[in-house]
Amino acid sequence: RVLSLELNKDRDVERIHGSGINTLDIEPVEGRYMLSGGSDGVIVLYDLENLSRKPSYTCKALFTVGRSHPDVHKFSVETVQWYPHDTGMFTSSSFDKTLKIWDTNTLQPADILHFEGTVYSHHMSPVATKHCLIAVGTKSPKVQLCDLKSGSSSHILQGHRQEVLAVSWSPRHEYILATGSADGRVKLWDVRRASGCLSTLDQHNGEKSKASSEAANTAHNGRVNGLCYTHDGLHLLTIGTDDRMRLWNSSTGENTLVNYGKVCNESRKGLKFAISCGCNPEFAFVPYGSTIAVYTVFTGELITMLRGHYSTVNCCVFQPHFQELYSGSKDCNILAWIPAPREPVPDDISEKSLPEQHLNPAYEDAWSSSDDEG
């Protein structure tokens, strides 16, 4: 289904945003509701379900935290995320130096966390049962961990030398966190440990000459602005402004050396890309200028470029239940990419004249009438 993804002509996403879209998130419970965050601070909540049951439909916006809302973010919203366990709560963070925890039903913030610098990225663990920590990447090199229950900063992870552009909890181990920074480094942390840092990923796997001018243990020769774990948590995909994407074994920290070629990345902030879930092989969907590049994660092959946006694509999110993709762009549009339907049988051939094997067994008449039996 992923190989046949195309821009869906029958599905529109209602156009609400008046400026670029930076971030999308689909709730993991039903896969039905999607949040979007814009560079004007606006947040929109969409229902992706086709309630009309018509072939052509528009995904309607249910709510908007618009410019006139008293608690709207003052500047660009960089990350939105649903609370992983139910749709009653979602979070948003912004260049206005705040992270807001929203009650979905009232559309009021239950809590507002303030930071010293712009907030590039935040993430809640999809699997945690023993903690409610939100990891936050800001202009500061220190990674902040905030407790969702108390709303206060519980502790700080120190080790990066420049701003932290991307953070992502492991979907496999609830205490493991990956962070990517403008210092070119990707660090893996166990947040239970006093020192925190488990490892700093090294693109050369420890094998380069000591005379090399490159800083030791860098994951990229540029800013690391995107991170995404594979669904099973065994691998981590990172992207940097060195126009490279790298796949790491998340337990050994080893660079798997998969070559994706040149992955153009001029973003000065966090880049939100996605990995498929439940496909074989798995695919990565990476914003690439005004297109989305689709790669096979483990072989590095560029499968296709999805074209449809008029301007820079900032984010994409995968809907695993139906293997669909949604993307948000500077052109203010959210596009839905849906697997193309199978080739229909031409109308002039009646089903009766088709050889039996063309019929999917699911559509065959399984009822027997008493006439046959008599």
**pLDDT tens digits, one per residue of 47-62:** 999 888 888 899 999 9
pLDDT over 80 (residue 24): yes
The whole-chain average pLDDT of the chain stands at 89
pLDDT over 50 (residue 183): yes
pLDDT in tens, 154-172: 789 999 999 999 999 999 9
Contact 277, 320 (CB under 8 A): yes
Average the pLDDT over 37-54 and give the result: 93
pLDDT over 60 (residue 352): no
* Calpha distance 229→50 (Å, rounded): 30
Residue 78 lies in domain: 2-339
Average the pLDDT over 101-119 and give the result: 94
Strand pairing partners for 179? Answer: 167, 187
Torsion angle of the four alpha carbons 247, 249, 250, 253, in this order, in degrees rounded to the nearest 10: -100
Percentage above 70 pLDDT, the chain: 89
Residue pointed to by tokens 């992502």: 168
Going by pLDDT thresholds of 50, 70 and 90, the confidence category of residue 357 is very low
Average the pLDDT over 139-152 and give the result: 90
Average the pLDDT over 173-192 and give the result: 96
188 in a domain, yes or no? yes
234 in a domain, yes or no? yes
Average the pLDDT over 119-134 and give the result: 95
First CA to last CA across the chain, in angstroms? 44
368 in a domain, yes or no? no
pLDDT over 80 (residue 113): yes
* Calpha distance 365→259 (Å, rounded): 50
354 in a domain, yes or no? no
359 in a domain, yes or no? no
Q: Which of 62-71, 112-121, 266-275, 312-321 has the lowest mean pLDDT?
A: 266-275
Contact 184, 240 (CB under 8 A): yes
pLDDT of residue 213: 54
Higher-pLDDT residue of 118 and 8 is 118
pLDDT over 70 (residue 366): no
pLDDT over 60 (residue 200): yes
pLDDT over 60 (residue 15): yes
Percentage above 90 pLDDT, the chain: 75
- Full-model pTM: 0.88
pLDDT over 90 (residue 339): no
Average the pLDDT over 146-151 and give the result: 86
pLDDT over 90 (residue 367): no
Going by pLDDT thresholds of 50, 70 and 90, the confidence category of residue 209 is low
Going by pLDDT thresholds of 50, 70 and 90, the confidence category of residue 355 is very low
pLDDT over 70 (residue 356): no
* CATH number, position 62: 2.130.10.10
Average the pLDDT over 287-305 and give the result: 96
Cβ neighbours of residue 316 closer than 8 Å, sequence gap 6 or more: 24, 272, 273, 274, 285, 286, 287, 292, 325, 326, 327, 328
pLDDT of residue 34: 98
353 in a domain, yes or no? no
Cβ neighbours of residue 342 closer than 8 Å, sequence gap 6 or more: none
Q: Which of 52-56, 195-199, 350-354 has the lowest mean pLDDT?
A: 350-354
pLDDT over 60 (residue 189): yes
Total domain count, the chain? 1
Contact 38, 76 (CB under 8 A): yes
373 in a domain, yes or no? no
374 in a domain, yes or no? no
pLDDT over 90 (residue 214): no
